[in-house]
Amino acid sequence: MANVAVVGAQWGDEGKGKIVDWLSERADVVVRFQGGHNAGHTLVIDGVTYKLSLLPSGIVRKAKLSVIGNGVVIDPWALAAEIDKLTAQGVVINRDNLRIAENATLILPLHRDLDQIREAAAGDGKIGTTGRGIGPAYEDKVGRRAIRVNDLADPSTVGAKIERLLSHHNPLRRGLGQPEVSAASIMDELMSIAPRVLEYSDAVWSLLDGMKREGKRILFEGAQGVLLDIDHGTYPFVTSSNTVSGQAATGSGMGPGSVGFVLGIAKAYTTRVGSGPFPTEQDNEIGEYIGTRGREFGTVTGRKRRCGWFDAVLVRQAIKVSGVTGIALTKLDILDGLKEIKVCVGYMLDGARIDRLPAGQGDQTRVEPIYETIPGWEGSTAGARSWAALPAQAVKYVRYLEELIECPITLLSTSPEREDTILMIDPFAD
């Protein structure tokens, strides 16, 4: 059976949590491969809501192994708090169902401090980060001064690594008017949290290789969306990691051949949290209608999401750069009741039509969407579990999007409930 990688095909918040949970029923392992606790997934299972940030969505399913790969940056205190919260909801979490890559980078309190200080100082130029230290932790990883999970198991070597880390951070803090951090305080904090993390530490690359050899089905769970990719997104208003499907291999320790079907997730409209370009944004009654019906607030931050029409140009671009095999279209039911629906089919830039989002920040702010308007539909799509249950015009809308994005829509979600899903092509099938 094929392994499956799930990635967001917009700016995140596309409903990946539900889709990953739905797919995890047929998977043996669910692997997070990038990002940190700035990512949020909301799952609704049998009327119970679970909100996840670091833990893979498979953690709420019995007999599934959840893995946090080396491509993830881990705030150990946030991880412990999330485990405690889910435990209080009746979810059993132990080494039998959770493993953490021993070579994953840790987020420390000084990373969070730096993130928030920089964002506050940026004023109108702020990027819109969650302020949780994700970016600074990735900076230290690339700068070869990070503290990693396996370092917690050998306190004799941690002291020198902390000094190396602080030789970078304390001058920064002084320059920003902040007090220095002592090596002793960091050591104490790390040693106090170490048992909570080391309980799950493992050579994840080897573990996954063994499962692959056994024919186990592996589901790679991406965070955020392709349009937030550090290389291919709307730079600099992006996250600090690669969110494309290629990162599933790098961020888990498995080769590219281990990633089979790439399922992109896209809403039937478009949303974005934070700053940055958004060509189809509707800062009007339509945006309010979509946002209210779709309950568009960030799982992690609670920030109100910006809402707009479906942008076929951006989704098609995300599909190309991430090698998406098929699309799961979510939240179709939110468009119920609209008399007409617009879809962006191209852009105008300085008087010329283009069919991609340019890489330049200035160009991105100047593009103007070209819309096609199609009729809405009467009746409800909410809770539909078959094509026959959908209004005819809703089916036409889905098929129209499929043509525009040049990729098959293989799965359709019509409510937050995992059972309200229409499957056209099984991603796990050979």
Cβ partners under 8 Å of residue 73, min gap 6: 35, 36, 104, 105, 106, 107, 133, 134, 137, 138, 141, 241
Is 269:310 a contact under the CB 8 Å cutoff?
A: yes
Does the bond joining 369 to the residue before it have cis omega, within 30 degrees of 0? no
CA distance 93 to 240: 28
**Rg from Cα positions in the chain:** 22
CA distance 368 to 239: 24
Catalytic site residues?
A: 13, 41
3-state secondary structure 164-202: HHHHHHHHHHHHCCCCCCCHHHHHHHHHHHHHHHHCCEE
- DSSP-derived secondary structure for 254-306: --GGG--EEEEEEESSEEE-SSS--TTB--SHHHHHHHHHHT-B-TTT-PBPE
Is 344:313 a contact under the CB 8 Å cutoff?
A: yes
Residue 201: what are its φ and ψ, rounded to 5°? -65, 140
Q: How far is CA 409 from CA 2, 11, 203, 332, in A?
A: 18, 18, 36, 12
Looking from the CA of 334 toward its CB, the CA atoms found within 13 Å total 28
Residue 262: what are its φ and ψ, rounded to 5°? -105, 115
Cβ partners under 8 Å of residue 154, min gap 6: none
